[in-house]
């Protein structure tokens, strides 16, 4: 049975608010971007797991797998397209004010796409009818939070697939450690 106090606190801190507060830490931002670029991690899903974690909850794997397909499609078809466009315009933006303004507009659209994705994750997690089938009380974790987070994202295969010549494995491992440390210290507003 889910702890109703945990659910109430979860409802009082929207995922977007958590994401803004957590991501405001420059180390968290760097870690998220390293995981996104070197490990192919969906930062929105990563933030979902962090949000649930600080409230003592976690997503059930089967329910998560279903939603993940929908969220991955959104990321692939919307967010990643905007991100690619924004990044590809960066060199031109250095020499053109109009391209710089366009790039800034695209960056705002990319942020809005991320916010929409987070809102959809939140709706999925908080849908009252489905609470029992989507979330569970998390066991206290005094051990390796970084490994739990990596496993939650189904990235066990990441350790096998990262090419060490580029330092990707070490970068990914360090990023998970940074996030684990920050999650353990994150203070949920009361």
pTM of the model: 0.85
The per-residue pLDDT of the chain, averaged, comes to 85
Burial 160-175 (b: 16+ CB within 10 A, else e): eebeeeeebbebbbbb
Taking the alpha carbons at both ends of the chain, their separation in whole angstroms is 23
Q: How far apart are CA 181 and CA 38, in angstroms?
A: 20
pLDDT for res 163: 47
Q: Which residues contact 69 (CB under 8 A, 6 or more apart)?
A: none
pLDDT confidence bin for 156, thresholds 50/70/90? very low
Considering the chain, what percentage of its residues have pLDDT values greater than 70? 85
Q: How far apart are CA 131 and CA 55, in angstroms?
A: 14
Tell me: the pLDDT tens digits for 50-106?
A: 999 989 888 888 888 888 888 999 999 999 999 999 999 999 999 999 999 999 999
Contact 85, 95 (CB under 8 A): no
What's the average model confidence in pLDDT over 125-139? 73
Tell me: the pLDDT tens digits for 171-183?
A: 888 898 899 889 8
For residue 162, is pLDDT > 70?
no
Tell me: the pLDDT tens digits for 5-46?
A: 888 888 899 999 999 999 999 999 999 999 988 888 899 999
For residue 160, is pLDDT > 70?
no
Please report which residue ranges of the chain form alpha helices under DSSP H. 4-12, 15-23, 26-39, 43-54, 61-74, 80-93, 97-126, 131-134, 145-152, 156-161, 168-185
Alpha-carbon distance values, 141 to 53, 147, 152, 190 (Å): 10, 11, 13, 22
What's the average model confidence in pLDDT over 157-164? 51
What's the average model confidence in pLDDT over 124-140? 74
Q: How far apart are CA 29 and CA 31, in angstroms?
A: 5
Considering the chain, what percentage of its residues have pLDDT values greater than 90? 46
């Amino acid at each position: 049975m889910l702890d109703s106090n945990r659910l109430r606190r979860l409802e009082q801190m929207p995922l977007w608010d958590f994401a803004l507060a957590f991501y405001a830490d420059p180390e968290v931002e760097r870690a998220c971007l390293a995981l996104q670029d070197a490990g192919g991690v969906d930062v929105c899903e990563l933030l979902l797991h962090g949000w649930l974690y600080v409230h003592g909850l976690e997503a059930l794997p089967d329910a998560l797998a279903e939603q993940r397909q929908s969220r991955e499609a959104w990321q692939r078809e919307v967010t990643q397209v905007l991100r690619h466009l924004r990044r590809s315009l960066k060199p031109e933006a250095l020499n053109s004010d109009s391209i710089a303004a366009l790039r800034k507009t695209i960056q705002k659209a990319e942020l809005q796409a991320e916010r929409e994705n987070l809102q959809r994750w939140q709706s999925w997690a908080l849908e009252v009818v489905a609470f029992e089938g989507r979330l569970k009380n998390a066991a206290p974790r005094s051990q390796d939070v970084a490994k739990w987070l990596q496993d939650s994202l189904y990235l066990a295969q990441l350790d096998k697939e990262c090419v060490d010549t580029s330092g990707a494995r070490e970068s990914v491992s360090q990023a998970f450690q940074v996030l684990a440390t920050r999650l353990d210290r994150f203070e949920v507003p009361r």
